[in-house]
Structure 1
Amino acid sequence: MNTVTDQSYKEMIHSIIVPANLSVQDQVERYRPLTEYLQTETPERLYRFRRCNEWSIFAFDQDQLGVTPGYKMNDDFDALLYFDKSRIKDNLKHFLNDPQITQKLREYIGQADDSQITMFADQFYNAMAQQLDKDSDYISNLIQRKINFASFSENISSADMWGYYADSSQGFALSYDFRNGNYTVCDSCRTKFQCSTSKNCTLGRYR
């Protein structure tokens, strides 16, 4: 990505807000700018390196992709969501110490003096900091335990990929084109909504 694209991507990510009480269809609409962007930026070819074992041959024959939860991945950083909690807390503290914010709090609370304003700001900060710690741990655990991943490479000639994932070049590699966003022939998945038959989905199996 170039600098302009990086900035536009950042702005797009920060503009997407998806309340938990939205319907699945409405959530899909909120995510649409991101999904369209990813389809545009997805490389023409992505490669999957496999060993010549029973599972790989079966998956190839059935046109399936193996997926795995984050905590089982070879590299935890591939599925590790990072929160700079110290920076978030510092920004929150600076925000609450801003004289303009203090004045707004004074107007909102009414007859509170400076000590009461400070106490309220401290209580608010502590509550938000505790919630941040709680939510970040929950989200990290959710990604590690509940979301499944499949890894690909853009480089068919990668010696590392052939060596590690294709059994020292004795295996094989498959080429995939995900640019159209249709990852499976499943009618339910093509609707982009929650699949009622996900346990039997032909897209993925645990490896």
Structure 2
Amino acid sequence: MLDFRKQFQEIIEQSYIPFNIDKTATSDVWSNIYKLVLPNIPEKLFRYRRIDDKGYTIESFKSKTISLCHAGMFPDKYDSYLYIDQDKIHKDLKNALKDALRITLSHITQKSPEIRTEKATKICYYRECGYTDEQIIDKILTDDYVDFCNNIGVAIKKQESRFRNPRNSAKIACFTESVQSKYMWDRYADGYKGFALEYDLRQCIFKYNSLGMNVNLFPVIYTDLRPDVTLDEGNIHTYEYFKQIGDKNWLNFLSSMISVNQLYWYRAYLYKDRKEYEHEHEWRMLYYNLEDENDYVAIPDVGCLKAIYYGPDISQKDKQELHRIAVEKGLKEYDVDLDAGSRRYDLRVTVIK
């Protein structure tokens, strides 16, 4: 599976979907990604659940839904917190501004009718004063854009953690490949007092697509360093700025020079610290619904739920309630216990008949 995850990292990082590309090309890229992913989705993926005081996890199980949340709700502060080189973006944006101003000066020389009057008047005035074109560019940068350039650091600081808030971000549900992980039972199932659900998610993408829902399932990529997304964020930042100042010529020029990769909004959620989390063997369901800015959201499980596993220390009251729901759903049931008859540190799984 590690070999597959490495292959997935390569294809997801090398694939590129410009934001203004036609749907046919977009489909081709997604098709190539899922040609790798689909055959490698395990038959069984598990989700560990704690039993919360308000009963949300039991209600979700009962209502046949999968609950998801944005990355900022996860305890790992580095989850979806990306690395951005502010100095490079500052430098690149200044260069982009200079290039755009050179285009403007050229259009003024050619007496293009599309030049904005106020900009042409200022540049012609500087030329009459004897400034060279490069001097004019430096002066306009200093007079008109110095505040913006100086505030790039503040703007980028906000961008670094923007995938960790509910606005315009994906909602995430986490799954793992084993139901016998002591670490997972302890950390994510309330110290063995919770339960785990077994899903067969191999067909889930097709099922969600048929419902018109933007849901994807990917393996987590474990790395030693945070991904450097300076290029992606720099392109977004520069494009949005030129769009904001409303110069059509500059925007057209930039559109021919830079592009934003649509896959960036998926890759951003898929990297975790190898040292701390590789043993979790995590898969992530990403659900995009840009109209929903809540911390949590629930989507139908589309019939992918297959079984429930009861933790070693689950209370009899909770187990009986879950058992009633499992019987109604026709799910398989299992007990998870310590293997007292062996010297190994294993958990024993026993089917409940």
Q: Structure 1 length as normaliser, TM-score?
A: 0.61
2:139 equivalent to 1:115: no
CA distance, structure 2, for counterparts of residue 186 and residue 64 of structure 1:
17
Structure 2 counterparts to residues 1-207 of structure 1, below 5 A: 1-2=5-6, 6-12=9-15, 15-18=16-19, 30=26, 33-34=29-30, 37=33, 40-41=36-37, 43-44=41-42, 45-52=44-51, 54-93=55-94, 107=106, 110=109, 113=132, 114-120=134-140, 127=148, 130=151, 134=155, 137=158, 140-141=161-162, 144-146=165-167, 147=169, 148-180=171-203, 181-182=205-206, 187-189=211-213, 201-202=299-300
The 1:143/1:109 distance shift into structure 2, 3 A limit, reads farther
Stretch deviating more after TM superposition (26-35 or 158-167): 26-35
Identity %: 19
Cα distance between partner residues in 1 of 2:107 and 2:26 = 33
Question: 1:52 offset after TM fit, Å?
Answer: 4.2
Please provide the CA RMSD for this pair: 4.7
Deviation at 1:50, TM superposition (A): 0.8
Distance (whole Å) between structure 2 residues aligned to residue 76 and residue 184 of structure 1: 30
Three-state SS of the structure 1 residue aligned to 2:33 is helix
Structure number with greater CO (CA < 8 Å, separation at least 6) is 1
Where does structure 2 lack aligned partners over 5 or more consecutive residues? 110-126, 217-287, 302-353
Q: Is the CA contact (8 Å cut-off) linking 1:80 and 1:143 kept in structure 2? A: yes
Question: Quick one: distance in 1 between partners of 2:84 and 2:31?
Answer: 23
Q: Is the 8 A contact 1:70 1:76 kept in 2?
A: no
TM-score by length of 2: 0.40
Change (3 A) 1:30 1:125: farther
Change (3 A) 1:160 1:84: farther
Q: Unmatched 5+ residue regions in structure 1?
A: none
Which is higher, the Rg of structure 1 or of structure 2? 2
Deviation at 1:116, TM superposition (A): 1.4
Q: Report the 3-state secondary structure (helix = DSSP H, G, I; strand = E; otherwise coil) of the residue aligned with 2:213.
A: helix
Equivalent pair of 1:51/1:166 in contact (CA under 8 Å): yes
Determine the C-alpha separation between the residues in 1 that align with 2:37 and 2:198. 17
Structure holding more helix per residue: 1
Change (3 A) 1:65 1:103: closer
Greater fraction of residues in strand: 2
